[in-house]
Structure formats: structure tokens, C-alpha cells
Amino acid sequence: MRMLYNPSTQLLYTDVSTKKSMTINIGLKGFGRIGHLFTRLTEEDSSLDMRVVAIAERNNDHKLNNETIARQHLANLLSDSAYGQFGGTVSVPKEIDGDTYKFDLNGREVVLFFNRGAAYQIDWSRYDVDVLIDASLTADKPQTEKQIEELRRCLTGTVKRAVVACPHKYVDKTLIVGVNEDQYDPAKHQVVSASSCTGNAAAPVVDLIDQNYGITYADIETIHPMQNFESAVDGVGLTAGMARGSVGNVKSVDTAVVGSVVAVLPHLKNIKFNTKPLSFRTPTASGCFMRYDLGIKEPVQGGAEEINSLLQAAAEGPLKGIIGYHEPLMGVMPPNALDVKGMTYAVLISPQSTTAYQPFPDNKGNIIRLLGLHDTELGYSACVARTIKEMEKRGL
């Protein structure tokens, strides 16, 4: 069973003050891993009051017709290698015309387009779309102003906002819930980024430590599962690291986690960040480790226990549902990657690994080392959904 962040209610979003009678209609540009799992999440979690109503995808395989590709997408939605069986119902797609299909999702009609060109060439308002999510871009591919301008051209009729499901330097605003969602201004921010899975995992923790201790140095390392645009075997691709084979291999690649943190905590731009942090890709599905080494100005008198108390208080209070806190099972067993599969926390702290030490005898400061984990797919989809709910709370 998927463990939602609020087990007492089994709901992802619990701020009832934002509940409204009208459901948020979502359009998806891109129906890959995040598109599939966002759709699945919104169908499984009624607290979100969201539903996917229209999807735009590309068919780049000229040997397969659109109907075959549509059937493959819906089969993957029904049965996911990482997350198992979908609890709802999905019908066989029916052709409307050569590049448009419809299918029933839990008894409700959803439209699926293929190869319609730029997103603005689709009449999203015809399907009463409120928010368009671009889940087709990545931080690993070249980013241009044109990509964002094309999304901006979609904001007509019922379409109020566009959300990019990755870091993007040309958006109006990057939002990470638990850090800077209160800076969202509907009058100024039409196209926003929900950052990345690692950005959502890193920024709330970094912000919490900085507010309480003052960060002077930061190095964040990730151990990240493979993604669908990486090479299965050695080849050529986005970067030399990504192009190496994923099967049976651990690869060292670049990560955008530092840029993601600075985008929402710009005052940290001038601290000593390791701008080339290590990121390892592993042949696993979903679970990601985050190792934080954070230098602070003064020693932590209470050591690891003091830091863990701070993290636990945040997890049970102002950052509930965003930061999780997991004591070792039976007092000895810390969480591992598979343990976070399906969790909707932005990050789950493993307190057994927390340390605070002085690297040099004459240095008054400390380095705090923390270990966190998160689900890079369904967990990140939850971060995107949470971002939209916070935008709704402020007028969308």
C-alpha cells in the first residue's frame, strides 16, 4: 500500500481552507513517467480535487501507429513496473481522428493527442483546462525562452497557469512548497517551475538549517535511480555520463540540485556551495538518497540529538507532509530506497545518520551531515500537485 504523507487521513493535501466545489482540470504536455504518475496520483487521492482531462504526447516511433502507442501508454498506466497495479479503471482508447484518441479513466473521458506541434496549437480551453503541466522538459536538455513563450501562448480561455515539471531558467518563478510558496503572485507569475525531485528534497532542509544555524558551506550529493532518457547500454547522448549504460552500472553524472536550491533561496548564492556536487545514477527504480554536508557558523552544542529534534519538530509542525522523519525500525534498521517507494514526502530524514562534527581543531564551526530519501517519481508528482494547491490557495 502506498504510504501517503498523512497516514491518519490518507490524504496528501489537508488544508481544508482551500477546498472548493470546482475541481482543478489539468492538461498534460508529455505523458512519460511524471505524466503517468501524476495522473495516477490525482485519481487515487481525493484530497487534491484535481483531474487530468487532456494529454498531448508525441509519437516518435514511425513503425508504430498512434493507436498502438496510446494502448502502450494506457497499459503502463494500468500496470507500472515500479508501483504495481492501478486501483482504477482505464478503457481501450477510441480514435476520434488520426492523431486524437479518447479513453475513459474511472468512467470519465480523457482526450489524448499525438504530434500536434507546439502546445499552443491545441485548444485546451475546449476541455476546460485550468492548469497546463509541461512534463516533457528536463533539466538535462537545452532550455530556451521559446519553450516558455510557447506555454505562455496557451494561457487563454480557461487556462490560467502553466507549471513546468523540472527546473527551468526562463520561468516567471520557481516554487518549492515549504520554502517560498508565499512568494507566488498570480499577477506576475504565469509560468512557474515546480523545480525537480532533488530540488524539493534539498531546499526545505537547507532552509531549515540556515534559519536556525546560518549556513556557510554546502555540499549535496545524490544517489539517484535511472531515468527513461538514459542509455540502457553504452551509447552517445545528452552527456557522456548519461550515455553510459545503465544496466548493472553506477554512473557519475551532473546534477542541477545546487541551482535548484539557489533558485528559491537566492541569498545563499554567495555562500561556499560545491557547484560540482557528486550525483550517482543507479540501476534502481524510484528511491533516491540525499547526503547533505552543511557548514554552519557556530558549534551545535547538543550535537546530532539537537539537530534531529529540530527536524522532527518541523516534520510534525510547519513542514508536516513535506519533510518526513523516520526512526530506525526496531531501533536499528534505517530506511532504504525501496522503503520510500510511493511516499509523497518531498524528503524523508533518516536521523540515525545525522552527525555534527568539527573538521579542524581550531575551527569554531561545525559541519552537519544529514541523510534523506525521496521518491523521485510519484513523490515528485506529489510535489507538483502540492505546488498547484498552494497556487490555488493564493488565487491561482
Task: Encode pLDDT of 278-335 as tens digits.
Answer: 889 888 888 999 999 999 988 888 999 999 999 999 999 999 999 999 998 888 888 8
Q: Is the pLDDT of residue 11 over 50?
A: no
pLDDT score, position 238: 67
What residue has cell string 502553466?
162
Q: What sign does the dihedral 198-204-210-212 (CA atoms) show?
A: negative
Does residue 232 or residue 340 have the better pLDDT? 340
pLDDT score, position 14: 46
Q: What is the DSSP letter of 22?
A: S
Least confident of 88-92, 221-225, 237-241: 237-241
Contact status, residue 89 vs residue 157, Cβ threshold 8 Å: no
State the virtual CA torsion across 74, 80, 81, 84 in degrees, nearest 10: -150
pLDDT band at 2 (very low <50, low <70, confident <90, very high): very low
pLDDT band at 363 (very low <50, low <70, confident <90, very high): low
Tell me what percent of the residues of the chain surpass a pLDDT of 90: 68
Segments of the chain assigned to CATH 3.40.50.720:
16-195+379-393
Residue 340's closest CA among 26, 97, 102, 5? 5
Q: Looking at domain 16-195+379-393, which of 3.30.70.360, 3.40.50.720, 1.10.3720.10, 3.40.50.1100 is its CATH number? A: 3.40.50.720
Considering only the top CATH level, what class is 198-376?
Answer: alpha beta
pLDDT score, position 364: 66
Least confident of 118-122, 170-174, 308-312: 118-122
What residue has cell string 504510504?
3
Q: Is the pLDDT of residue 38 over 90?
A: yes
Average pLDDT, the chain: 89
pLDDT score, position 8: 31
Q: Is the pLDDT of residue 22 over 90?
A: no
Q: Which stretches does DSSP call E strand in 247-286?
A: 251-253, 272-273, 279-282
Residue 105's closest CA among 81, 79, 86, 123? 86
If you average pLDDT over residues 121-145, what whole number do you get?
A: 92
Decide: helix, strand or coil at residue 337: helix
Q: Is the pLDDT of residue 5 over 50?
A: no
In single-letter form, the type of residue at position 240 comes to A
Convert the pLDDT of each residue in 198-230 to its tens digit. Answer: 999 999 999 999 999 999 999 999 999 888 777
Q: Is the pLDDT of residue 233 over 90?
A: no
Q: How far apart are alpha carbons 169 and 370 in whole angstroms?
A: 28
* Radius of gyration in angstroms for the set of CA atoms belonging to the chain, rounded to a whole number: 21
Segments of the chain assigned to CATH 3.30.360.10:
198-376
Contact status, residue 120 vs residue 154, Cβ threshold 8 Å: yes
Decide: helix, strand or coil at residue 113: strand
Does residue 45 or residue 361 have the better pLDDT? 45
Does residue 17 or residue 128 have the better pLDDT? 128
If you average pLDDT over residues 145-159, what whole number do you get?
A: 97
Q: How far apart are alpha carbons 101 and 47 in whole angstroms?
A: 28
pLDDT band at 4 (very low <50, low <70, confident <90, very high): very low
Contact status, residue 352 vs residue 328, Cβ threshold 8 Å: yes
Q: How far apart are alpha carbons 370 and 292 in whole angstroms?
A: 5
pLDDT score, position 12: 55
